[in-house]
Structure 1
């Protein structure tokens, strides 16, 4: 399995999370949080320097390049996933529908193992990579609202 360092030749310049537009607010927030946490784990260089407030208290750094949370329909998510599978200059994380059907991670993994890649129904996808490539793929998508 490739590590993020071997997947991308340079640190990501742009990150987006794309959520299935059919999700209710709570499920959309959950999907975005899961994807963001995994994206941060895969690319720790995305976390900025600590924030220091006026009382000289240090707070954990945030992502300095920002991260847009967009919406797409199921077909658009599938297209983004297909592009991700064929692009060596982009990293991404998928969140299959099975992820919100159980709280048991082993059961989640087992359910996903029974679904062929092209049949995965996605609740969301996170993309990280070259700014122009990510923008070209997601520039027409709307913000999660």
Structure 2
């Protein structure tokens, strides 16, 4: 079974000034949540020649790009206004929480304007994603 994602794109943008561990965490959280929000991104399980089953993986590339915090905030805001895009923002507030209950409590007391994003994951039509993120460099 093949799912047609022609014309679709998926990207993750992380804040360029994060240390390596926080960069990897920010990318992982955005990617995992995108996979939950857009399950058609993940293909079916496959078998190898020995019959061992391997979990399905993403059907399209997921480049990890970098940008300054201000640019990520702009991307989150602009992408959030486009109904064709699935947007997952991950903030420094969320990254600093030790439990989900703490996250719920702190988010409930924090206005959107006070959030600083460490990453954003976006899925949708290539045209919109290229316009938003096409000039950003890859994390290396």
Scaled by the length of structure 2, the TM-score of the pair is 0.90
Structure 2 gaps of 5+ residues are none
Q: CA deviation at 1:115?
A: 2.1
1:130 aligned onto 2:125: yes
Match of 1:99 among 80, 94, 97: 94
CA distance in 1, matches of 2:7, 2:15: 23
Q: CA deviation at 1:11?
A: 9.1
CA distance in 1, matches of 2:82, 2:101: 29
Partner residue, 1:6: none
CA distance in 2, matches of 1:11, 1:45: 12
Partner residue, 1:5: none
Count residues with an aligned counterpart: 136
Deviations 1:9-60 (A, max 9, x none): x998111111011111111111111111111111111111323223221201
Partner residue, 2:73: 78
Partner residue, 1:44: 39
Match of 1:63 among 25, 40, 58: 58
Partner residue, 1:87: 82
CA distance in 1, matches of 2:10, 2:36: 14
Distance 1:63 1:112, change over 3 A: same
Match of 1:25 among 11, 20, 26: 20
Consecutive aligned runs of 4 or more in structure 1 exceeding 3 Å deviation: none
Scaled by the length of structure 1, the TM-score of the pair is 0.87
